[in-house]
Amino acid sequence: MRKAISPGARLRNAVKSEKPLQVVGVINAYCARLAERAGFRALYLSGAGVANASYGLPDLGFTMLRNVLEDVRRVTATTGLPLLVDADTGWENPERTAREMIRAGAGGMHLEDQVSAKRCGHRPGKKLVTAAEMVRRIRSAADGRTDRSFVIMARTDAAANEGIEGAIERARDYVAAGAEMIFAEALTSLEQYRRFTRALRVPVLANVTEFGRTPLFTTKQLGSAGIRLALYPLSAFRAISAAAEKTYETIRKQGTQKSLLASMQTREELYRVLDYHSYEKQANALLAKRKGKH
């Protein structure tokens, strides 16, 4: 029997198949299905997304490994697309974190070089651990891999504090320690990305998040700078949140949702995404079988 391709291998194949690979953030299993239908080849679970959407908390280190794993399992159970996961600082035990991510079905994870009391990468006040401490995190995560194809990515937030050269120097150390891809956070120009990609021999990810320090570059622009992965971590979440807020306000003020129907997904559209009718047939067949036994 042919061995199934692991999530890590699928993630690596996706990086090779599209330049740059668009990696889109999902906040739940249903969004994962929508992203797959839209044609994306890889998904992302943001630590901020878990904190904000699943727990109603700011992304300030409140959520732990078990919280993230719960969302990982829900996403990977509904889609075969590879999932890259935000593992923050590794929760003090990157070896265990890598092992549990693989068990939950993730294709890769990224660790960052901030202190445990982390901040959003596009906010001021970030504090970094030493490069040596981050190297220990990476090596620990690599030791925890039960699937050698599982991707260990290192994120560096150093550009804001130590300048672009300092960030590149850190990235070199992280690659030497075993990081197979680099997440260059909060860069502000294509030239900065070019300097990163020229200095490193591994794929570099650009975080194209809204309302942050990085301009909303196109895939064509990022590709010209040598970027191999373009990340959109919370785009859908922000759009969903704005639509939900408008919906709640409208129903409250108008006493009806009639004016919103044109902007809503219909019941049949929902059923198509969920493959509802196939599940219904299976449920009816099972019910009939049980009745036949009595």
pLDDT digits (tens, 9 = 90+) for 168-182: 999 999 999 999 999
pTM of the model: 0.94
Q: What is the mean pLDDT of residues 25-44?
A: 98
Q: Is 67 a catalytic residue?
A: no
> Greater confidence, 142 or 1?
142
Rounded to whole angstroms, the Cα distance separating 268 from 172 reads 51
Q: What is the mean pLDDT of residues 256-275?
A: 95
pLDDT digits (tens, 9 = 90+) for 180-229: 999 999 999 999 999 999 999 999 999 999 999 999 999 999 999 999 99
Q: What is the mean pLDDT of residues 282-294?
A: 77
With 60 as the cut, is the pLDDT of residue 282 above it?
Answer: yes
Q: What is the pLDDT of residue 290?
A: 78
Q: Is 207 a catalytic residue?
A: yes
Catalytically annotated residue among 44, 174, 193, 232:
44
Query: Which of 194, 182, 261 is closest to 222 using CA atoms?
Result: 194
Q: What is the pLDDT of residue 199?
A: 97
Catalytically annotated residue among 36, 71, 180, 185:
185
Beta bridge partners of 21: 229
> Greater confidence, 60 or 52?
52
Catalytically annotated residue among 36, 71, 88, 157:
88
Catalytically annotated residue among 112, 113, 157, 173:
112
Catalytically annotated residue among 99, 155, 170, 228:
155
Given a contact cutoff of 8 angstroms between Cβ atoms, the answer to whether 11 and 108 are in contact is: yes
Angle, in degrees to the nearest 10, between helices 131-143 and 94-104:
40
With 90 as the cut, is the pLDDT of residue 96 above it?
Answer: yes
Beta bridge partners of 85: 45, 109
- Exposure on the CB side of residue 37, measured as CA atoms within 13 A: 13
Q: What is the mean pLDDT of residues 94-108?
A: 98
Q: Is 120 a catalytic residue?
A: yes
Given a contact cutoff of 8 angstroms between Cβ atoms, the answer to whether 125 and 110 are in contact is: no
Given a contact cutoff of 8 angstroms between Cβ atoms, the answer to whether 236 and 26 are in contact is: yes
* Band of residue 125 on the pLDDT scale cut at 50, 70, 90: low
Average pLDDT of the chain is 94
Catalytically annotated residue among 36, 71, 86, 180:
86
Q: Is 88 a catalytic residue?
A: yes
Q: Is 112 a catalytic residue?
A: yes
Q: What is the pLDDT of residue 50?
A: 97
187-202 b/e (C-beta count within 10 Å ≥ 16 → b): beebebbebbbebbee
Q: At CA 241, angle to CA 239 and CA 242, rounded to 5?
A: 65
Q: Is 155 a catalytic residue?
A: yes
Helix (H) or strand (E) holding 287: helix 276-292
